[in-house]
């Protein structure tokens, strides 16, 4: 019998569990371990609350989680409650699937000022993640700068611009909905160091920005390349740029909130007396290789909040080699050390979509098979013994189903659930 521990219960974790089942059949036992009492990682806490169709992929993971040879063990922190070395002694293979839940730093002066918020933090706040539920973003400001040229920047912008009614059907956290309902934001700047042809925004998400009730996106026509240049773009990028061209044609429309795409602008510093008051950017141009280079011209964007959406980093775990430059675990195509592997964003960094993790998981399952782990390991009984000895309170998948049912039962009208935003609340829901 092969015993495998997977650290992290998000898409990468459950796709790997599914792949291991297909690879080894009934000859594998898999423990999926998470530091939170709730499974599904990015699906629960990272996907925008108004994108319920994307969150529905968790049903696939639930199918895997409910099989006899897969077990969910929540509320266990690997590194403090149980060490990686202990897992390696108990299991033939340990797979790290913790994703990249930390924010990448801007690396500019002033980013430590109050009012500068990383996207992982802000997204966690409006998604009800326990680590960020007490965030108090300065929403009474009239201007916000969102730095980034990807879908996360669009998600943040859309959430900041929506009316309360537009959140119907979403699972946005109650505290965030209340704060956003009182928001004073009137101007949102999406700051990108390169141009429209270099964005990583998908057509669907850009299209949503043009359908908001009280907000209108604006693009400066002079920032758009000649229309004939679009012919050489990938089809998805070309569709996205078509949306930007449409936004440029509606620049004259007035709205309660204006969303401005500030292309060819590189953040250089953030200024303010004790809090964010302005973002200083340098106008850029593209060199022959498509890289943004500064022109020396600086522009001031007045704002009371800066949201950085420039990428994520994996959190280090004691006992696992870490590449601080790349913000992920040190590995060779998923191998970290004998018996120790990583998958998903923890392996390759924050690239690709949720579905990208599926082939990644199957690749790791094939690596484990190729490495042909041998010998006897205790697996589950050994971990259960450690848990009992240390008096740890674990959450099973059936426990999670009780939390799930309680969240659904307490949902406000028009919402699929009202999430618990503290671990104590979650644990109390198991045994009310």
Beta carbons of 63 and 17 less than 8 angstroms apart: no
pLDDT of residue 431: 86
Element (H, E) at 366: helix 357-371
Handedness of CA 352, 353, 356, 360 (dihedral sign): positive
**Domains of the chain with CATH codes:** 2-101+314-430 (3.40.50.720), 104-308 (3.50.50.60)
Beta bridge partners of 233: none
β-sheet bridge partners, residue 303: none
* pLDDT, block means (10 residues), the chain with 432 residues: 97 96 96 97 94 91 94 96 97 97 96 97 97 96 97 97 97 97 97 97 95 96 95 95 94 86 98 98 94 96 98 94 95 96 94 87 96 92 97 96 97 95 96 80
> Which residues are documented as binding site?
12, 42, 78, 193-194, 205, 345, 352-354
- Residue ranges for the binding site for FAD? 12, 42, 78, 345, 352-354
For residue 273, what are its two tokens?
Answer: 């007396």
**Interatomic CA distance for residues 5 and 88, integer angstroms:** 9
- pLDDT of 320 reads 96
The pair of three-digit structure tokens given for residue 387, joined into one six-digit string? 């848990």
- State how far Cα 193 lies from the chain centre: 22
Residues contributing to the annotated binding site for NADP(+): 193-194, 205, 352
């Amino acid at each position: 019998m092969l015993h495998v521990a997977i650290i992290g219960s998000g898409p990468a974790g459950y796709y790997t569990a599914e792949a291991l089942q297909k690879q080894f059949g009934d000859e594998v036992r898999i423990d999926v371990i998470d530091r939170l009492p709730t499974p599904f990682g990015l699906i629960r806490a990272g996907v925008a609350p108004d994108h319920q169709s994307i969150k529905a992929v968790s049903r696939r993971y639930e199918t895997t989680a409910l099989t006899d040879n897969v077990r969910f063990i929540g509320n266990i922190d690997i590194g403090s409650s149980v060490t990686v070395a202990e897992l390696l002694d108990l299991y033939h293979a340990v797979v790290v699937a913790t994703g990249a839940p930390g924010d990448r730093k801007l690396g500019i002066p002033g980013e430590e000022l109050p009012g500068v918020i990383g996207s992982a933090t802000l997204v966690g706040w409006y998604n009800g993640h326990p680590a960020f539920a007490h965030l108090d973003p300065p929403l009474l400001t009239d201007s916000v700068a969102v730095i980034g040229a990807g879908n996360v920047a669009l998600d943040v912008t859309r959430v900041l611009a929506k009316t309360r009614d537009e959140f119907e059907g979403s699972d946005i956290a109650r505290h965030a909905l209340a704060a956003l309902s009182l928001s004073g934001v009137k101007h949102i700047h999406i700051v990108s160091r390169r141009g429209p042809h270099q964005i990583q925004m998908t057509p669907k998400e850009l299209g949503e920005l043009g359908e908001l009730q009280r907000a209108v996106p604006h693009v400066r026509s002079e920032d758009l390349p000649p229309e004939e240049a679009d012919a050489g773009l990938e089809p998805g990028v070309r569709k996205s740029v078509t949306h930007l061209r449409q936004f440029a044609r509606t620049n004259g429309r007035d709205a309660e909130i204006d969303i401005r795409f500030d292309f060819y602008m590189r953040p250089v510093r953030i200024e303010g007396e004790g809090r964010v008051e302005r973002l200083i950017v340098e106008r850029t141009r593209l060199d022959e290789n498509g890289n943004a280079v500064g022109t020396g011209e600086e522009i001031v964007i007045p704002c009371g909040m800066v949201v950085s959406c420039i990428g994520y980093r994996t959190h280090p775990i004691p006992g696992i080699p870490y590449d601080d430059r790349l913000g992920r675990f040190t590995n060779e195509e998923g191998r970290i050390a004998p018996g120790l592997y990583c998958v998903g964003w923890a392996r390759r960094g924050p690239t690709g979509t949720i579905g990208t993790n599926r082939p990644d998981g199957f690749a790791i399952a094939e690596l484990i098979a190729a490495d042909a782990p041998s010998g006897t390991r205790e697996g589950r009984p050994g971990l259960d013994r450690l848990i009992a000895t240390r008096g740890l309170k674990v959450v099973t998948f059936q426990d999670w189903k009780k939390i799930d049912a309680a969240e659904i039962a307490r949902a406000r009208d028009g919402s699929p659930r009202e999430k618990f935003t503290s671990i104590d609340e979650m644990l109390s829901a198991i045994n009310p």
